[in-house]
Amino acid sequence: MKAAIHQLQYWPGLRFFAKMRAADVFICLDDVQYEKREFQNRNKIRTKDGWQYLTVPVMVKGRFSQIISAVEINSTREWREEHFRAIKINYVHARYFKEYLPALEAVYSKKYVLLGELALATIIFLKDALGIKTPIRLSSEFKVVSSATRRLVDLCEAAGAEEYYSGSGAREYLDEKLFAESAIRLSWQTFKAIPYPQVYEGFEPNMSALDLLLNCGPESVKYL
């Protein structure tokens, strides 16, 4: 069994779902430290001027070591209305916008207290819409307390995986011998974005997979 592991993200991108689709089990890290200015609480959508971030406001002041699942959303901001409005404005002419509008309304009609539950809701929305069958599990289910590469190895063992499918960027810091010592095969993702039709002229890579879905619908999987 092949496992892939990644931090929870808000409206993740194509590389995230390509990795999920290639794995037999996908583990979302929810009990690791939250990182500011990363993609755990934000992602990109296409606009006529290029792209913009959709950023979820979170409570971080004085909470330097909180884990992702404990991060609270700042409810004093009307971020749900802002994000939904931005999506409608920029994708109203996307080919499959009307098809997925009811489901998007459902996502943004719910009140979220924690970033983790919101991120997971967007991941599940995209996973199902993209037709990806890989089961998702949360790292907190496994009660693993190790860190760095050791945590990844322990999660693979806990999930019963014989292979770990890693993003290529991790080559710089993974301790490969720990996988070998545990008889877990290490394989690397090689992903290159294939240009697909977008609402506006030109192609902007590295958007949320929501951009792909609203533009390409059932054919989105061809670009993963």
For the chain, list the strands marked E by DSSP: 2-7, 25-29, 42-47, 50-55, 136-138, 163-167, 185-189
pLDDT for the residue numbered 181:
97
What was the pLDDT predicted at 119? 98
Q: Give the per-residue pLDDT at 63.
A: 80
Looking at residue 98, what is its pLDDT? 98
In which band, very low, low, confident or very high, does the pLDDT at 23 lie, cut at 50, 70 and 90? Answer: very high
- Whole-number pLDDT of residue 44: 98
Number of domains in the chain: 1
Average pLDDT over residues 117-145: 97
pLDDT value at position 208?
A: 98
Is the model's pTM score more than 0.85? Answer: yes
What does the mean pLDDT of the chain come to? 96
What's the pLDDT at 32?
95
CA distances from 148 to 6, 153, 173, 176 (A): 13, 9, 9, 12
Residue 160 has pLDDT above 80, yes or no: yes
Number of helical H runs and strand E runs in the chain: 7, 7
| Token output for 109 | 């009609």
- Closest CA relative to residue 180, chosen from 164, 202, 200: 164
| Average pLDDT rounded to a whole number, residues 150-163 | 98
Structure confidence at residue 22 (pLDDT): 98
Predicted pLDDT at 64: 76
Q: Residue 48 sits in which domain range?
A: 2-223
Residue 61's pLDDT is what? 83
pLDDT, tens digit (0-9, with 9 covering 90-100), for 59-101? 988 787 899 999 999 999 999 999 999 999 999 999 999 999 9
Type of residue at 66: Q
**Could you give the CA distance from residue 39 to residue 36 in angstroms, rounded to a whole number?**
8
Convert the pLDDT of each residue in 94-126 to its tens digit. Answer: 999 999 999 999 999 999 999 999 999 999 999
CB 73 within 8 A of CB 57: yes
For range 170-191, the mean pLDDT: 95
